[in-house]
Structure formats: C-alpha cells, structure tokens
C-alpha cells in the first residue's frame, strides 16, 4: 500500500537525538531519508553506548529506514555531491552547531535559489536569533533553562527526565512543522524555512506549570512521582512491598474510592478530604490512611479493588516489564528490523492507520549507501572512490 510520504526525499545533516528523531518519523511514513554522516565515525550518537549487540541504544532507536551517506562536506567534491542532492530534494533537516550550516552555504536563503521547492528545517537550542542564538545546548541544559527541573523530582532534589525530553520535544515539532510545510507547498508550489528551538518546544510543554504560577503565584511543588496538585494521584505501597500507581480525577471517583477500595465510606465526607483542595492540603494524613488500608492487601488485591471500582491504576514497570508488556503483544506492536549486527525487535510508531503500513527498514552502517547514492547522481567509480576515502579532518 502507498505511504503518505512515498516519493519525498529528505536530506539530513543530523546527530544526537532531535533531528534523527524527526527524520525517522518521516521515514516511517515512507520518505527516503539520506543521512549525511562523518566518514569513519558517523553520527556521534553511534558511540553513546554498546547496549544493542555492540551498537548504541539511542542510534538503534531513531535511525532505522535511513540511507547513510558518508561525506566530508568540508571537501569540495563532497560538498558538490551534497549540493547536487539538494537540487532535487524535498526537505533538508539539520541540527549542527549554531551557524555551522549557514557557514557551509546551507542556509534557506542560499539554497532556495537552487531549489525553490526545498523545505529547510533548522533545529537548534535557542533559535536563529536572540541573545542565546550561539549558545551551545544539550538536552539537560534545555530542561534546566525551561524550568523543567524546577517542577520535577522530590522537594529536596530536582531531577531531570529519564529520557531526552527536550530533544524529543524539538524533534516532534520539527516533524509536524515539516508535514505542515509539505501540505502548504502542495498549494503554493514553494518551499519554506522552519526554525525549531528546543527551548520553545519545552516552553510549550511547560504550559501547565507556567500558568499554575501565573502572575507571580507559587509554582507547583516537586512531588516525586505524585501529582503536584491532585491527590491521591501517584504511587502507594501495598502490604507485600509492591507499588501501585493510582489516580483520581473528580469527586465522583473520590467517593467510589472511599466506598469500594478503602471500604471506609466515612472518609469521603471527612472535612479534611472533602475536596481536592482539602486533600491536597492534608496529603500526609490521607496518605497515612490509604497506606494503613493497603498494608493489609497485596498489590494484586489493591489492583483488583481499583479495577472493580473503575479507578485508574497502573503497575510501576521497569524496562523488562515494558519489553514484555501484554498489551503491546496483544496489539501486535512489535516488528523486527535489521541492523549491522543482526535483527532486533522494534515498536511500530504510535497510531494505527488502516490505509498503510509503516516503513520498518534496517538501521544503516556508516556510509553503507554512499556508493549507490553517488552512482545514482551520475558519478564514476573513480570519483566515488575519491569521495569515500575518509579525511581525518572532515566533518559530516
């Protein structure tokens, strides 16, 4: 079946997470993604760890279904090959160091003269202008600048996200902006420039705590795995030592929780707990009461009561639990993709579409497709051999 982005060619000068996460999703939808890498070492995310049969966990996750083109773009012939590709490409994505793409002549203004239909997406920490434009940005630093650490963790210790949340946020907005630009180009015939900032992506995701602290109000406190403003909403320990995560959203659920789960209906009308504001104010007293009831139950018995009462709950899974999650298995969400070290399992992208199947092709080795791509551009074997010889000073 045809995919939404069949026939679309994306060239990406990418590394780490933000841009590769964006372009992998474009590849999932059928786009041809040509990943330009440094000859020899490639994307430096290839070296983050060796957890997937000697390969990087980050790289394996976000680089399937791509073609790897190893070019030292500081060399004239390699730069010529890149420019030749961009003359007919649909999209250029880059998250190089601030200003690096422009210095190489890869700004939107320079490229649109050669290809007016080209969509150029620049991903950076702080955006194309402003006082922070040239400041280096990594995921943790943006989490900090965006105030994420101020609302995450325990009262004593601010904590970063366990995943690269700022990179992922920027990658998601780059992806959706590119899809929008492709729709717009279909109507206007012209490309466009997209400027995605990690800080602005995280700023959007921080909307709730920002408005919670509106007009100088106190910000949400750090509450560990509990909700900052709704209670009970978070982890509770059962009598067998296992943890159950549960959440209440309204007063109807609160009454049901007291009646069917705690089996203490009088608690629902206790003046300390009769509204969410009161429950939030008296967290410690309510927590002690809930833990007293749960202490006589196993986690399975707690979950049984919660499910019977239609109270939202979840297990506190680790990664082994996620790999083996019965819901993912039941919905047939796993596929197998190739890598240079053999087949590995991979989750299908979120969203089941009845009209097409996602592309789930292999993760490439560095420069795996260089010769084929250059040959398709009309380059001779001699020219290809000269270009693919790694340069010790080159940067891809």
Distance from the first to the final alpha carbon of the chain: 35
Select from 131, 111, 130 the least CA-distant residue to 121. Answer: 111
Quote the CA–CA distance of 91 and 85 in Å, as a whole number: 11
Catalytic residue annotation: 227
Quote the CA–CA distance of 237 and 292 in Å, as a whole number: 10
Quote the CA–CA distance of 218 and 211 in Å, as a whole number: 10
Quote the CA–CA distance of 140 and 165 in Å, as a whole number: 9
């Amino acid at each position: 079946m045809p995919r939404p982005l069949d026939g679309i060619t994306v060239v990406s000068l990418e590394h780490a997470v933000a841009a590769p996460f964006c372009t992998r999703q474009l590849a999932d939808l059928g786009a041809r993604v040509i990943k330009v890498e440094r000859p020899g070492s490639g994307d430096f995310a290839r070296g983050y760890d060796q957890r997937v049969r000697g390969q990087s966990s980050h790289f394996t996750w976000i680089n399937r279904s791509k073609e790897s083109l190893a070019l030292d773009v500081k060399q004239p012939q390699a730069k010529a090959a890149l420019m030749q590709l961009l003359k007919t490409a649909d999209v250029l994505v880059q998250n190089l160091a601030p200003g690096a793409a422009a210095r190489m002549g890869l700004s939107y203004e320079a490229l649109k003269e050669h290809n007016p239909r080209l969509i150029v997406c620049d991903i950076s920490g702080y955006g194309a202008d402003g006082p922070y434009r040239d400041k280096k940005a990594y995921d943790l630093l943006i989490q900090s600048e965006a105030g994420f650490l101020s609302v995450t963790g325990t009262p004593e210790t601010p904590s970063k996200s366990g995943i690269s949340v700022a990179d992922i946020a920027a990658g998601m907005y780059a992806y959706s902006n590119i899809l929008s630009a492709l729709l717009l180009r279909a109507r206007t015939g012209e490309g466009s420039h997209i400027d995605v900032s990690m800080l602005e992506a995280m700023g959007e995701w921080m909307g709730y705590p920002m408005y919670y602290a509106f007009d100088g109000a106190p910000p949400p406190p750090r509450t560990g795995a509990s909700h900052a403003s709704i209670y009970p909403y978070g982890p509770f320990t059962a009598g067998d030592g296992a943890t159950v995560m549960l959440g209440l959203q309204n007063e109807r659920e609160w009454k049901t929780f007291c009646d069917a789960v705690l089996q203490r209906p009088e608690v629902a009308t206790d003046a300390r707990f009769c509204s969410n504001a009161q429950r939030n104010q008296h967290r410690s007293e309510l927590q002690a009461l809930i833990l007293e009831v749960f202490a006589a139950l196993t986690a399975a018995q707690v979950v049984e009561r919660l499910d019977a009462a239609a109270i939202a709950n979840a297990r506190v899974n680790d990664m082994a639990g996620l790999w083996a999650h019965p819901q993912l298995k039941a919905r047939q969400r796993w596929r197998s993709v190739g890598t240079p070290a053999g087949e590995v399992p991979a989750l299908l992208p979120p969203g089941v579409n009845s009209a097409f199947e996602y592309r789930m092709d292999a993760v490439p080795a560095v420069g795996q497709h260089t010769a084929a791509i250059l040959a398709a551009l009309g380059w001779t074997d001699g020219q290809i051999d000269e270009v693919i010889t790694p340069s010790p000073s080159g940067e891809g």
